[in-house]
Amino acid sequence: MTPPRSLTARLIIHVFVSLSAAYLLMYVLFLLLSIVGLWKGNTLYLNDLAESRVIDLVSGSIRMGPNGAAVLDPTAELRDELQRTPTLEVAAFVPGVGAALPGSSQRLAVAVASIGGIITRSRFDFLLDGSNSSSLQAALSQETTPYGSFNIVVFGFKFRPTDLLGTIYRYMESSYIFVAPVWAISLIVGWLSLRHSLSSLRAAGQDADSIDLLSPDQRISSADLPTEITPFVEKINEALSRLQEAAQRQRRFFANSAHELRTPVTILKSRVDTLPRSPLKLEISRDVKRLQNIVEQLLAVTRLKTLHSSPNDDVNLTDLLQDVVGDYAPLVLASQRKIALETPDEPVVVKGAKSALQSVVSNLIDNALRVEPEGGCINLCLDKDAVLTVADHGEGVRPEDREKIFEPFWRKSEETPGAGLGLAIAKEVMNELGGGIWIEGAPGRGATFKVAFPRA
């Protein structure tokens, strides 16, 4: 998965690219306006763009001769340029001396001498041998080479298409020392401004973090959001409203279903109690008790979700456990098993809904009763920290199944009795109450369920 990219970084990159493009286009526009004569005082000719390139060729052609004196020995590139441009004349002079280097154009050396030698201007006009072309200019530049500094004069240079790119490159290279600080300051100020502008988005993200099933009315605030983001946030809030309505319909369905099932289950239990004692009655009583637990758990979880907050009732957990164990004792004993409860001497008081806590404990006892071997004992132990341990001596649960066992409809195999809802509902109830439930123990040594109740 590609990691998310920072919006600030993307915007800063876009600003940098835009500034660079604008700066480049501005200079190109300046060149074009100067070439066509619309920029008064800065008229350029296309041939002027070749000046720096030709001067570089001449500078690179200066060598040290056999006698130890500098000479102008054209390189292959300069010879190609001289052949391509018949009007081109080049010369190099020793500063302060005025003498042209061997290999310089004699006509150009004579012409420079005729106007008083090397002058201080970088560009000037003159004709060679009666030439009347006003588009031919001479350019002067003092260049530093490995053999010293020389005044280089070029005349009659001609434009190549690549000279435009070269001119832009040299301009950017020479001006970056002034432009770079401006860009850097602009990017830093832009980054700080963006960080401040996006603070409302971070606040919206914090609002989104607080949305869960316990706060279905929570929405993402659109206050101070940019107008480009507000429609997106509004659509998310509309989607949350639709999800809230669907969740409310689902909770009403579960609540109504549980209420409708409660009465027939109670009637069924009463009729089973009137049956004569037999192994069949015992099996039916177990199934009815299991069905009754599921109905009570469904009612408990729907009530908790309807409240949108955990109940704050003080519940004496010690008394509650004694009542639940007392209700199960006849069924456990009739199944040829035992049940034991150990509690602290002092009452343990927790926060929650009594009926919801009863349903969780009943479900754990029911699960233990199904797997406890005949003659075995189901052990319940409550400590002073309000952590309940329910241990059986069945096959236990494999480590890889300890998370799956709390998923709805999960069963170890098709032969496993039940629908796989009891533990899933128990976990949801404990989550709603702000507690926790988990399983310990090793396979083959039974399962140990632990429930942490929220203290009062």
Q: What is the CATH number of the domain that holds 408?
A: 3.30.565.10
Task: For residues 302 and 342, state if they share a domain.
Answer: yes
Q: What pLDDT score was predicted for residue 117?
A: 57
Residue scoring higher pLDDT (77 or 117)? 77
CA 283 to chain centre: 56
Residue 9 lies in a domain: no
Residue 180 lies in a domain: no
Domains contained in the chain, number: 3
Report the run of H or E that residue 72 belongs to, with start and end.
Answer: strand 70-72
| C-alpha span between 39 and 171 (Å, rounded) | 18
- Closest to 157 in 3D by CA, of 88, 217, 258: 88
Q: What pLDDT score was predicted for residue 121?
A: 46
Alpha carbon distance, N-terminus to C-terminus of the chain: 45
Q: Is the pLDDT of residue 258 over 70?
A: no
Task: Note the pLDDT tens digit of each residue in 317-359.
Answer: 999 999 888 888 888 888 888 999 999 988 899 988 888 888 8
Which residues lie across from 144 on neighbouring strands?
A: 149
| C-alpha span between 369 and 371 (Å, rounded) | 6
Least confident segment among 65-69, 79-83, 240-244, 320-324? 240-244
End residue of a domain, out of 118, 135, 158: 158
Question: What's the one-letter identity of residue 45?
Answer: Y
Max avg pLDDT among 10-14, 175-179, 299-303, 329-333: 329-333
Residue scoring higher pLDDT (112 or 339)? 339
Task: For residues 84 and 154, state if they share a domain.
Answer: yes
SS (H, E, C) 236-265: HHHHHHHHHHHHHHHHHHHHHHHHHHHHHH
Q: What pLDDT score was predicted for residue 271?
A: 76
**Percent of all residues in the chain with a pLDDT value above 90, rounded to a whole number:** 12
Residue 347 lies in a domain: yes
pLDDT band at residue 19 using 50, 70 and 90 as cut-offs = confident
Cβ proximity of 367 and 422 under 8 Å:
yes
Q: What residue ranges in 96-239 does DSSP mark as E strands?
A: 123-124, 138-145, 148-155
Contacts of 235 (CB under 8 A, 6+ apart): none
DSSP string computed for 344-389: -SS--EEES-HHHHHHHHHHHHHHHHHHSPTT-EEEEEE-TTSEEE
Task: Note the pLDDT tens digit of each residue in 174-218.
Answer: 676 777 787 778 778 777 777 777 777 777 777 777 776 656 677
Task: Note the pLDDT tens digit of each residue in 137-162.
Answer: 778 888 889 998 898 889 888 888 88
Task: For residues 239 and 345, state if they share a domain.
Answer: no
Residue 418 lies in a domain: yes
Residue scoring higher pLDDT (64 or 429)? 64
Q: Is the pLDDT of residue 272 over 70?
A: yes
Q: What pLDDT score was predicted for residue 305?
A: 61
Task: For residues 143 and 235, state if they share a domain.
Answer: no
Instruction: Write the Ramachandran bin of 417: left for phi over 0, alpha for psi from -120 to 50, otherwise beta.
Output: beta
Residue scoring higher pLDDT (233 or 258)? 233
Residue 119 lies in a domain: yes
Which residues lie across from 148 on neighbouring strands?
A: 145
Q: What pLDDT score was predicted for residue 161?
A: 86
Task: For residues 96 and 133, state if they share a domain.
Answer: yes
Global pTM exceeds 0.85: no
Task: For residues 289 and 436, state if they share a domain.
Answer: yes
| C-alpha span between 277 and 47 (Å, rounded) | 117
End residue of a domain, out of 158, 188, 219: 158
Q: What pLDDT score was predicted for residue 269?
A: 72
Task: For residues 376 and 288, state if they share a domain.
Answer: yes
Task: For residues 262 and 302, state if they share a domain.
Answer: no
Q: Is the pLDDT of residue 77 over 90?
A: yes
Parallel, antiparallel or unpaired: strands 377-382 and 349-351? unpaired
Domain span at residue 412 reads: 283-452
Q: Is the pLDDT of residue 392 over 80?
A: yes
| C-alpha span between 302 and 294 (Å, rounded) | 12
Residue 226 lies in a domain: yes
Looking at every residue in the chain, the average pLDDT score rounds to 78
End residue of a domain, out of 138, 158, 178: 158
Residue 124 lies in a domain: yes
**Percent of all residues in the chain with a pLDDT value above 70, rounded to a whole number:** 77
- Average pLDDT of span 85-110: 86
Cα distances from 327 to residues 213, 259, 262, in angstroms, run: 33, 22, 18
Cβ proximity of 295 and 259 under 8 Å:
no
Task: For residues 403 and 296, state if they share a domain.
Answer: yes
Task: For residues 262 and 287, state if they share a domain.
Answer: no
Residue 263 lies in a domain: yes
Cβ proximity of 453 and 382 under 8 Å:
no
pLDDT band at residue 1 using 50, 70 and 90 as cut-offs = very low
Task: Note the pLDDT tens digit of each residue in 433-443.
Answer: 888 898 887 66
Task: For residues 353 and 214, state if they share a domain.
Answer: no
Task: For residues 428 and 380, state if they share a domain.
Answer: yes
Q: Is the pLDDT of residue 309 over 70?
A: no
